[in-house]
Amino acid sequence: MSASFHPSDALLAAYAAGAMDEPTALAVATHLAFCPRCRAEVTRLEALAGAHLESLPVCAMADDALARTLARLDRTPPVPCPPARGSALPGPIGAYCGGDPASLSWRPLSPGIDQAILIRSDRAQAKLIRMEAGIVSPRHRHAAAELNVVLQGAYRDESGHYRPGDFAVEAANRTYRPVADADTACLCLCVGDDPIRPTGLLGRLLSPFAG
C-alpha cells in the first residue's frame, strides 16, 4: 500500500542535504522506507546537489576541513531500508530496537496507550506510540509541531485517516484526538520537542503521566 500523506518538499530537501537533526531525519527515513515516490525525489535532489558541487570552481580547503567532514559523518541521516527479515518495522526504526519493539522500555500514557523513547536530542525526541485497537486518545495539543509516521495499523483524527507509511504533521497548538482503527493496534513513530498537553477534564486527570 502506497502512502497517501508525505513530507513537504522542504523536508525532503533538508533530508537530502543532511541538514536535519537525528529524530527528524529518522521520521523522514522511515517514511521513505514505505514510499517509492519520495525515495525517487530524494535521489533526484541528491543528484542535483552532486551536479552543482561538480560545477563549482576548485578552491583551497581549510586546514580542519577533513576533521569537520569526519565529524559530520557521525550525524549522517538514517538510511531508508525495508523491514529486516523477521521484523515488521522498517530498517531505520529497527536499528534503534533490534527490530523488536518489545525490547524497548515502555511506559503508559493513558489507558490503552504506551510510549517508548528512541532518541533524545537538544532539538527533539523520537518515540514510539502504541495504541490498542479502537482506543480513543485523550484530546490534546503540542506547543510545537509534531511529526507522526504510521508503522503498523492505522488511526484517524480531524485531518485524515493515516495508514502505514503515512507522514502526518500536527501543527503547533492544534488540538486533536487520534482514534486507532477498531480492527488492529496502531504503532507510530512520533517526533517533536514538546510534551503532550492534554485538554479537557480527562486530559487534566492524565496530565501527570503524559510527556
pLDDT means per 10 residues, the chain with 211 residues, are 88 92 94 95 87 65 75 58 57 80 88 92 89 92 89 94 95 89 95 71 48 49
**Coil/strand/helix, residue 93:** helix
Q: Write down the residue that cell numbers 513530507 correspond to.
A: 7
At 85 the pLDDT is 47
Q: Write down the residue that cell numbers 485524515 correspond to.
A: 160
Instruction: Please tell me the total count of domains within the chain.
Output: 1
Q: What is the CATH number of the domain that holds 172?
A: 2.60.120.10
Handedness of CA 89, 93, 98, 104 (dihedral sign): negative
Distance, CA of 138 to CA of 33 (rounded, Å): 30
Distance, CA of 211 to CA of 195 (rounded, Å): 4
Rounded to two decimals, the pTM is: 0.79
At 84 the pLDDT is 47
CB within 8 A of 11, min separation 6: which ones?
20, 24, 28
At 55 the pLDDT is 62
Distance, CA of 187 to CA of 124 (rounded, Å): 19
At 157 the pLDDT is 93
At 173 the pLDDT is 83
At 73 the pLDDT is 56
Residue range(s) defining the domain that contains residue 181: 1-211
